[in-house]
Amino acid sequence: MIESWRWYGDLDQITLDEVAQTGARGIVTALHEIPYGRVWSAEAIVERNNRVKAAGFDWVVVESLPIHEDIKRGTGDLTGLFAAYRQSMANLAAEGIKVICYNFMPLLDWTRTNLAAPVAGGATCLRFEAVHMAAFEIHMLGREAATQDYPADVVTKAAAWAQNVSEADRAALLGAVMAGMPGAFDRYDIAGLRGALTRYDGIDRTALRANYKRFLDEIIPTAEELGMRMCVHPDDPPRDILGLPRIVSNGDDLDWVLGAYDSPVNGITLCSGSLGANPANDVPAIAARVADRVHFAHLRNVRKDPDGSFEEAAHLDGDTDMVALIRVLLAEQAKRTQAGRADQQIAFRPDHGHHMLSDHARDLIAGYPLIGRLRGLAELRGVIAAVQAGA
């Protein structure tokens, strides 16, 4: 498997020289500074790729080439947006960058309610607290329908929280929910988020799937022509939030994605953390189910609570059997080697580490520390070596 590391370019305080010391061989990056829907110019791609190469790495995966909200909503004449996306793909392919990770989550990317929840020993992690998310939806956004989206005891606790917290606490919660990914995308205040949500009125699961299928119909033929592989990232969290449907949350959803445009280049980013946050998901079993279409992997772990809350665990300590999952991925690689496939090795990266030790002294991107991910990579590297040795 190809050990890789997510790097945010000029938005990242972690340098490529530091990444080199982790032992990773590949870089996962994107042009986060470019607003959604704009073409990634050949010049900008070459500049980024040259920096990656000069540091001794290969740019192995684009994460991500984002999809404009108009495409997700199916709004208006989308000809220009699809053309821009295809041109960006062509410019990437010309530089030999052939794997694109993307998501189809409406409006928000990954969502958490606490970016620095304490864990044992003084480290911190990303956490999704169901009570706080319910309070955000019901009492800050004023979305009364959200009372039906959470268990009754969570709704009761959310009301108590909303009555007893300060404006600073509310602002911190809004900041966490809006954290998403760094780069040129919209962050909202409460009024702005309410307005953005209204633009999704009438878009249910069926409509969102139809818009996603249109995206695949427009993009996958170009990927085939360019020799590229597209791999959708599962929803994070894998449940509807803010009244918006999520359609890439479990094994059945992944089956639908792969069948919506049945092509080897239409694939999956196997994110063990996103899928693992759904109690109904058996992540190693889902991985085995879609293994031949896994083009990229995010390896991380989560620990779940009965009320729907979850937090990032250490890579080998959460609810997902990481050893079993790695066995599935290595078995798939062996099959690909035997079949003579060009994509024999699966790139993976350690995802969402704990902020620990000297990470606390730096203003690092939430979920993307240096020491915490180094720990995760070392643990995953050890599991891979043991499984390959037959242990």
- pLDDT, tens only, 366-387: 999 999 999 999 999 999 999 9
Q: How large is the average pLDDT for residues 142-163?
A: 97
Q: Is 308 left (phi over 0), alpha (psi -120 to 50) or beta?
A: left
DSSP 138: I
d(CA 23, CA 142): 48
Q: Which pLDDT tens digit goes with each residue over 316-354?
A: 999 999 999 999 999 999 999 999 999 999 999 999 999
What per-residue confidence (pLDDT) applies to 180? 75
Close Cβ partners of 50 (under 8 Å, ≥ 6 residues apart): none
Give the separation between CA 119 and CA 240, rounded to whole angstroms: 27
d(CA 208, CA 205): 5
Q: How many other CB atoms sit within 10 Å of the CB of residue 342?
A: 8
pLDDT of residue 183: 59
Q: Which two tokens stand for residue 20?
A: 């080199």
**Catalytically annotated residues:** 233, 271, 298, 351-352, 368
- DSSP secondary structure string, 239-262? S-BTTB----SSHHHHHHHHHHT-
pLDDT band of 79, cuts 50, 70, 90: very high
Q: pLDDT per residue over 163-220, tens digit each?
A: 999 999 999 999 999 987 565 566 789 999 999 999 999 999 999 999 999 999 999 9
Contacts of 290 (CB under 8 A, 6+ apart): 251, 254, 255, 258, 268, 270
Over the stretch 90-130, which tens digit does the pLDDT of each residue have?
999 999 999 999 999 999 889 999 999 999 899 999 999 99
* Residue 119 to residue 360: CA distance in whole angstroms: 13
- DSSP reduced 3-state for 167: helix
Q: Spell out the domains of the chain, with CATH numbers in brackets.
A: 2-111+204-388 (3.20.20.150), 114-197 (no CATH)
Mean pLDDT, the chain, rounded, equals: 96
Share of the chain above pLDDT 90, in %: 96
- Give residue 176's pLDDT: 95
Q: Tokens at residue 84, please?
A: 């821009």
146-177 b/e (C-beta count within 10 Å ≥ 16 → b): beebbeeebbebbbebbeeeeeeebebbbebb
Identify the pLDDT of residue 185: 65
Average pLDDT for 261-285? 98
pLDDT of residue 177: 94
Q: Region 153-166: what's the mean pLDDT?
A: 97
State whether the Cα torsion 151-153-159-165 is positive or negative. negative
pLDDT tens digit sequence for 18-36: 999 999 999 999 999 999 9
Residue 235 pLDDT > 90 = yes
- Any idea which residue has 């937090």 for tokens? 311
